[in-house]
Amino acid sequence: MSRKVGTGVFSPRQLLTSLPDALRKLHPRHQLRNPVMFVVWAGSVLVTAFAAVEPSVFTVLIAVWLWFTVLFANLAEAVAEGRGKAQAESLRRTKKETVARRLTADGSEEEVPGAELRVGDLVVVEAGGVIPGDGDVVEGIATVDESAITGESAPAIRESGGDRSAVTGGTTVLSDRIVVKITTRPGESFVDRMIALVEGASRQKTPNEIALTILLSTLTIIFLLAVVALQPMAAYSGSEQSVVVLTALLVCLIPTTIGALLSAIGIAGMDRLVQRNVLATSGRAVEAAGDVSTLLLDKTGTITFGNRKATELIPVGESTVDELAAVARLSSLADGTPEGRSIVELTGSAEPTEAERLAEFVPFTAQTRMSGLNLGDREIRKGAAGAVRAWVRERGGEMPDKTERIVEEVSQQGGTPLVVAECVNGRKAVVRGVIRLSDVVKPGMRERFEELRSMGIRTVMITGDNPLTAKAIAADAGVDDYLAEAKPEDKMALIHREQEGGRLVAMTGDGTNDAPALAASDVGVAMNTGTSAAKEAGNMVDLDSDPTKLIEIVGIGKQLLITRGALTTFSVANDLAKYFAILPAMFLAIYPQLGGLNIMGLATPASAILSAVIFNALVIVALIPLALRGVRYRPSSAAALLRRNLLIYGVGGVLTPFAGIWLIDQLVRLIPGIG
């Protein structure tokens, strides 16, 4: 069970501990970043000046509550940032200064401080040693304790030659010996970047956040002009209003609620991801996750368990099982992938001879889709049926019809067939048989894809398997579509096709060959166990390396957008109630008919204005828990979400201030000079 890095649910104690940071944010330089709250800050300064020159109970109380409004807005942001700082402190404790055993050019070792390591250095780490920096395992296999980073108590296996080669500085090797190639400079490690991100130092406003800030600034300017225009009208009517009253009116009418909570909502969205052990390198990625309409899911490890193992050897032609086993073993001796090792285990784990060690290894590539070795006058290959068929034909041979039938049967049953062929002394190549690799769809995947479908999200399974295997597994899992025999360029082409239709695309990946597609996706989630290239290319890293978490990430992104929309709706709606509280009170002396609009029965113009200002400040504090926790998200259509938002937060935003202002007025009217 993995530990959640976040601080958990909101508690009132967080308000108290974040108060010093909120007070520091009263500096005008900080307030300038938020145009709406800067107007409130400027109004507070102005009213404070009037309270100092011509003190009265009403003026002093208005000044105090205007400052509280600014302070509460700062408090919302400080609480959100405080969670990040707590996480950062936890991460700092995981950093350890280490002495690295660096390999020199002649193969000897030298001990150097971890801070002196550079990109490309090779270091040796043995059981009990701490990995000195982020890198990739280039030699060996070992179990690694990553609990300091992921919270997972079970050790992880890191090995060379696959997609589980990345290691993180500060983690501990528990067994065996590995050689690590350093991929980051000191101070730029994964933990360093995590610290900067969870503290909020690297957080930039997202496009949607910038657009909403511009909208709020525009509304503020409109209300400012409207309030300024009221004074000539009031003077003409013989009831000129004081600057204090006009300032109070402006603060209550501009969207202070959402202006105060906007930054906290964005920070809290990233915090919710960190609580699920996902590191987002930008708030934009979190937002994009909420708008995703296409999910590209790698089959292996995401939809299926991913531990494909050789489970059966099926000979063809005149070959026997023993002959096929011997050739299959040779084809996999130098294959460092889990599949290759499982073939060696199935065929007999005898140590390679000296001659076999000197054989020429032919590595697997996405283009050839084959691997094998050349041993003296023997050429041996294993791989996809189409690729091996072409190789056999180049060497004068033909693939037997029985082989084609076996390949089709294995594929239809959801397995992966690997055809094994051999060419000796340049004679006709001979197909020896088929290796069955078996994989299993994870339980509950069909239900999760149904849930995504109800959210309007299309799922596409990506696999390097042949179309028949891909079709069988896609049908079993319940995905909407699949891409078989996918090469890196095929993934890129699919992403671009989806994006051309205006859709946002998300995908997961862990290998170097996934890096281009991760970079091209709007949301690219790299696995922590994957290669450094994949982690650099993505804009999120899943510390638990659970590819199905992409579904949770989409839900968190949608929750962020819904929370921002809901609180914006509430903020704009509750201005209506404050309008009914303040405007009739301002002009009641001249136009007694406005008394009909005093539906709350507020005591006096002074109590009405003060009550509205107090409510305007207190509602910010009341909504901080909701901004940090987020509005609960239920999978549904956009139209249903809009109706729910308008019903709960639109109507609620209108009714709540009427009740709140009335209650506050019952207390305020008791103050001498107000009631």
Catalytic residues: 298
DSSP, res 242: P
Instruction: Name the token pair of 83.
Output: 């969670």
Question: 445 labelled as ligand-binding?
Answer: no
Closest CA to 117 of 128, 96, 101, 93: 101
The whole-angstrom distance between residue 513's C-alpha and the CA centroid of its chain comes to 21
Under 8 Å between Cβ of 562 and 164: no
21 a known binding residue? Answer: no
Distance between CA 400 and CA 415 in Å, rounded? Answer: 20
Partners of 435 in the beta sheet? 313, 418
Q: Residues 332, 341: contact at Cβ < 8 Å?
A: yes
Nearest one of 547, 634, 303 to 445, comparing CA atoms: 303
Q: Annotation-wise, does 382 bind a ligand? A: yes
Spatial contact of 170 and 94, defined as CB atoms under 8 Å apart = yes
Report whether 335 belongs to an annotated binding site. Answer: yes
**426: phi > 0 → left, psi -120 to 50 → alpha, else beta; which?**
left
CA distances from residue 340 to 114, 190, 211, 324, 326 in whole angstroms, order as listed: 35, 31, 52, 15, 14
514 annotated among ligand-binding-site residues: yes
Q: Strand ranges (DSSP E) for 468-606?
A: 481-483, 504-509, 523-527, 540-542
- Known binding residue 492? Answer is no
The single residue listed with the structure tokens 């930039």 is: 204
Query: Is 95 marked as a binding-site residue?
Result: no
377 is in an annotated binding site: no
Q: Binding residue per annotation — 302?
A: no
Pairing of strands 481-483, 458-462: parallel
**Two tokens at 419?**
């055809």
Please check whether residue 542 is in contact with residue 277, taking contact to mean a CB–CB distance below 8 angstroms: yes
Cα within 13 Å of Cα(199), Cβ side: 13
Is 37 annotated to bind a ligand? Reply is no
Which residue has tokens 């300032």?
247
Side-chain half-sphere CA neighbours of 236 within 13 A: 5
Find out whether 543 and 278 touch, Cβ atoms under 8 Å. yes
CB burial of residue 620 (10 Å; 0-12, 13-18, 19+): buried
Annotated binding-site residue? 490: no
Of 621, 601, 506, 497, whose CA–CA distance to 558 is shortest?
Answer: 506
Query: What is the distance between the alpha carbons of residues 295 and 457, in angstroms, rounded to a whole number?
Result: 7
* C-beta separation of 545 from 527 below 8 A: yes
Strands 172-173 and 135-145: antiparallel
The reply to whether 7 sits in an annotated binding site is no
In sequence order, the 6+-apart residues with CB closer than 8 A to the CB of 472 are 411, 412, 413, 414
Residue 246 in tokens = 């006009």
| Number of other CB atoms surrounding residue 26 within 10 Å | 14
Euclidean distance between CA atoms 550 and 527, whole angstroms: 11
Contact 284, 454 (CB under 8 A): no
Contact 119, 184 (CB under 8 A): yes
471 annotated to bind ligand: no
Q: Are strands 378-383 and 370-375 parallel, antiparallel or unpaired?
A: antiparallel
Q: How far apart are the C-alpha atoms of 500 and 489, rounded to whole Å?
A: 16
- Which residues participate in the annotated binding site for ATP? 335, 339, 364-371, 382
- Which residues participate in the annotated binding site? 335, 339, 364-371, 382, 510, 514
- Which residues participate in the annotated binding site for Mg(2+)? 510, 514
